[in-house]
Structure 1
Amino acid sequence: MTMTPLLRVEGLTRDFVTKKDLFGRATAKLRAVNDVSFEIAPGETLGLVGESGSGKSTTGRLVLRLDDATDGRIFFEGQEITGLRGGGLAPIRKKLQVVFQDPYSSLNPRMRVGESVGEPLSVHGVVANASERRDAVAELFRKVGLDPRFMDRFPHQFSGGQRQRIGIARAVALSPKLIVADEPITALDVSIQAQIINLFLDLQEQMGMAYLFIAHDLGMVRYLCHRVAVMLRGRIVEMGPTDQVFANPQHGYTRALISAAPIPDPDRELLRRRLPYELVPPPEGAQLAEVAPGHWVLAA
């Protein structure tokens, strides 16, 4: 029996109006996400990689229903959520959470961090009173490696890595099934990035969550993700098991992207050669083709 995917996205497309006439009618549009389809199984991590402007973050926002799709469908636990609004989305919000790129701007500077982490618990009725909420927040702080005594501090009193741990604590407060992590380590020092990645792995093992992990850092994606999808100009051009894609990239852009990743070895880095990639738009109607079990490449 085939397991139902936790998340299934079919033909997801998002257009943005870039120019209007005097009457407010759209005269020019930008297609940020173009016919994107993928699945995430329970407890799985799918890495979404590509250059800036490739549509990664927009895809994440569409999955979270923070933005509306122009076309396509989104299914979560077998239920279509594409057109849900307001109260219809409330039960989904508990199971579908986000960790943002900038840990400082994602926190209210006027709220104590304990209040920020505990707010979802109150909004969704998980705790009955302030005492229960405080106990729950203290446990969340311990879970992400922070001292509960820091709960009454404000965001500016923490380092970047500590603030991201607070953001993660808030994201896991409701025990979600899926977290969209939108470049969660980009704003952090290199020495802290590995700690946050290991925290994601520990929480996944403890809580069984799935991740849609959006990133630039191919090394971290290779370490963290079970599968990887490579995006270019709003389209997925290659997708498959992480080891397979890195060992045998099939699309020219994937090969160029991997060749551009620095190697933490001075001798090998001197020998590294970047592979050029000339952007050629795919033919009209081009679709992903399976070149090996689970390994898909956009047909040229």
Structure 2
Amino acid sequence: MNELSPSAAPAAARLRRAPPLLRVENLVKHFGVGTDLRGRPTHTVKAVDGVSFDVAPGEILGLVGESGSGKSTTGRLVLRLENPTEGSIQFEGQEITRLKGSNLTAVRKKLQVVFQDPYSSLNPRMRVGESVGEPLRVHGMVRGKNEQRDRVAALFQRVGLDPRFMDRFPHQFSGGQRQRIGIARAIALGPKMIVADEPITALDVSIQAQIINLFLDLQEEMGMSYLFIAHDLGMVRYLCHRVAVMLRGRIVEMGPTASVFANPQHGYTRALISAAPIPDPDREAARQRQPFDPNTAPPPEARLTEVEQGHYALV
């Protein structure tokens, strides 16, 4: 396994709190479940229930929680792959919650995504060079096939792939290589922010560090921000400047990564951290896990309260 480069988390103290690149306020997404005789939903699932956060230019915000906590739905709402039930999403100061057509397309040029499954995110019938070059063509950033091919070749080299592979199909690559192709496609337009939805979960452990280091290198070179959605707390602790912990559609704790891990305030955060494995057999055997009742839900009136500078918990 490749060694990870120096941790990005301490850099949080050096980040300037400039006007946020992304601001999310009271974001809500409810899904109707089941239907009655009139075709109306009989139940409502509150997948996202009043989520608020911001991401500064050049910042990496980690969004963590168990499966079903609402973190991936939050990412899809930010990308406008889902329409919110309520709330506000502002990107570069522009309200994008209700944008459509060419206005939304213009925003998506700057706001890209890397999906969890690198295979399903690629068209199996399209050569990978065409997949990476498609955003360049759609947004009118290349003139003709030769320029597009040259740009794609440069992108392949940037993510550590041989440009001679451009004419192959997705099934001819490993999982790590396919994820590099997905990253090449995401950075093709020079975005200001990438939503990475569990981008290393489907990869072998030996490849995960390589992909994370690639994310860090690209972030340093291009000055991008990331909304990094994950359940691997060790990787979030290593990569992210700040972290937000989600439970049942709500953020229950948020703050600088070092502060949240050193001094977790919410019971769910303590349980998550205590459940993360430690790569030391003696410490792993001796540590005690913090219990948390999965049926415990924060009361509706609970609000995020600042417990120390920049560190908030739901109380």
Answer whether TM exceeds 0.5 for this pair.
yes
Structure 1 residue 30 and structure 2 residue 45: aligned?
yes
Structure 1 residue 283 and structure 2 residue 299: aligned?
yes
Q: In structure 2, give the amino acid aligned to 1:157.
A: Q
Q: In structure 1, give the amino acid aligned to 2:179.
A: Q
Partner of 1:93: 108
Partner of 2:9: none
Q: How far, CA to CA, are the matches of 2:274 and 2:309 in structure 1?
A: 24
**Partner-residue secondary structure (3-state), 2:152:** helix
Partner of 2:124: 109
Partner of 2:93: 78
Taking only the aligned residue pairs, the percentage that are identical comes to 76
Q: Is contact 2:28-2:51 (8 Å) kept?
A: yes
List alignment gaps of at least 5 residues for structure 1: none
- Which of 180, 203, 208 aligns to 1:193? It is 208
Partner of 2:72: 57
Structure 1 residue 145 and structure 2 residue 160: aligned?
yes
Q: In structure 2, give the amino acid aligned to 1:213.
A: F
- What TM-score, normalized to structure 1? 0.98
Q: Is contact 2:271-2:289 (8 Å) kept?
A: yes
Which whole-Å deviations, capped at 9, do the CAs of 1:80-136 have from their partners, x for residues lacking one? 000111222011010000000000010001111000000000000000110000000
Q: In structure 1, give the amino acid aligned to 2:297.
A: P
Q: Is contact 2:63-2:244 (8 Å) kept?
A: yes
Partner of 1:7: 22
Q: Is contact 2:116-2:198 (8 Å) kept?
A: yes
Partner of 1:177: 192
Instruction: Please state how far the C-alpha of 1:27 moved relative to its aligned partner.
Output: 2.1
Number of corresponding residues: 299
Q: In structure 1, give the amino acid aligned to 2:244.
A: A
Partner of 1:294: 310
Which whole-Å deviations, capped at 9, do the CAs of 1:59-88 have from their partners, x for residues lacking one? 000000000000100000000000111222
Q: How far, CA to CA, are the matches of 1:2 and 1:258 in structure 2?
A: 27
Q: How far, CA to CA, are the matches of 2:42 and 2:118 in structure 1?
A: 37
RMSD over equivalenced CA pairs, Å? 1.0
Q: In structure 1, give the amino acid aligned to 2:155.
A: L
Q: Is contact 2:64-2:229 (8 Å) kept?
A: yes
Q: In structure 1, give the amino acid aligned to 2:305.
A: A
Structure 1 residue 238 and structure 2 residue 253: aligned?
yes
Moved over 4 A (4+): none
Partner of 2:288: 273
Q: How far, CA to CA, are the matches of 1:220 and 1:185 in structure 2?
A: 10
List alignment gaps of at least 5 residues for structure 2: 1-15
Q: Is contact 2:17-2:56 (8 Å) kept?
A: no
Q: In structure 1, give the amino acid aligned to 2:72.
A: S
Instruction: Please state how far the C-alpha of 1:2 moved relative to its aligned partner.
Output: 6.5
Q: How far, CA to CA, are the matches of 1:122 and 1:4 in structure 2?
A: 32
